[in-house]
Amino acid sequence: MDFLNKKRGEVLKNARKNTFQPKQSLEGKSNYKKYYRVELDGTVRERIFLNVPDIAQREEIICLHYLQFLVQNFLVQDVGINFVSRDNPWDFGVELSNGLAFNVEITSIAENAWSYEKMKREELYEQAVAKYKIKSEMFRKICRWFGHKKLEEECVKTSELIDNPLFGEGARIFTSSSKKEVDSLAVLIQEAIERKNSKKHNDKEKTILIIDNRTSRFEVEDFFKAMDELGDKLILNPFPEIYFYTGYYSDNDGNKAEYSFAPIKMPYEKWKRIEARVKSGELVVNKNGVAYD
């Protein structure tokens, strides 16, 4: 057994890291998880994910990261922030002390519906083990998802809260198989944008759209290919700015974090500002085409 554990450790240590990856060490960092993909040819690939089980809190952190990105790259001055609305109808209504006002809308993509469902189940499990009490219906559902048949049978059917047998459970490793992953990143991005564009909400022209990258298969080069495929298809899209966000870790307040914002659609003056920062050396571009502040 020690030999097998040693070999497994060597395999994971030597796993090829996805090019969407953090630059800093993960030691002491919060809200992240490591994900390993085993490809058909036996290749093992590692991907680091921002891991925030509560979706509302995850959206709040991503919004804070966008505001950091905005201030650091374009405003270059401290500003006061006022959240004037939440889910009414866009995820966030924001007003800044410099007079700027806009909405922020966040949508997620994964390889396919099954991948997204797996992530939601894992997040619900992580939320469940942190609760001393849990609804019987939710507990039974989690038992079915994760094979706790004996616990499910012992659970009394009721609509009331029950003592949670999973409370305080230690570290967990989720394993699963994947289903066919046929869509390109360009297709996934375009579908995500079209879903939001089909909403009948007002003020799309004042709304920043952020696509939360929760895929494990795609690399940075796939994003560049997707941009070539999409070409000018997004010019007439009403959202003035669209970003491809990849998060790695973060404190709950959005600080001590690492993430990337890849522009999909952005005003010309902002493109020029990014180019100027790269030329001046303020932003350093690595071999994968990722610029670091």
Q: What is the mean pLDDT of the chain?
A: 89
- Beta strand pairing call for 241-249 and 207-213: parallel
Predicted local confidence at residue 190, as pLDDT: 96
Q: Is the pLDDT of residue 185 over 60?
A: yes
Q: Is the pLDDT of residue 3 over 80?
A: no
Average pLDDT over residues 217-223: 95
Q: Which two tokens stand for residue 203?
A: 């003020």
293 or 191, which is more confident: 191
230 or 167, which is more confident: 230
Q: Tell me, what DSSP letter sits at residue 72? A: I
The whole-angstrom separation of Cα 202 and Cα 252 is 30
DSSP strands (E only) in the chain: 16-17, 32-38, 44-50, 81-86, 92-96, 101-109, 133-135, 161-163, 207-213, 241-249, 258-265, 284-285, 291-292
Predicted local confidence at residue 4, as pLDDT: 39
- Beta strand pairing call for 16-17 and 32-38: unpaired
The string of pLDDT tens digits covering residues 128-158 is 888 888 888 888 888 888 888 777 777 777 7
Average pLDDT over residues 237-253: 97
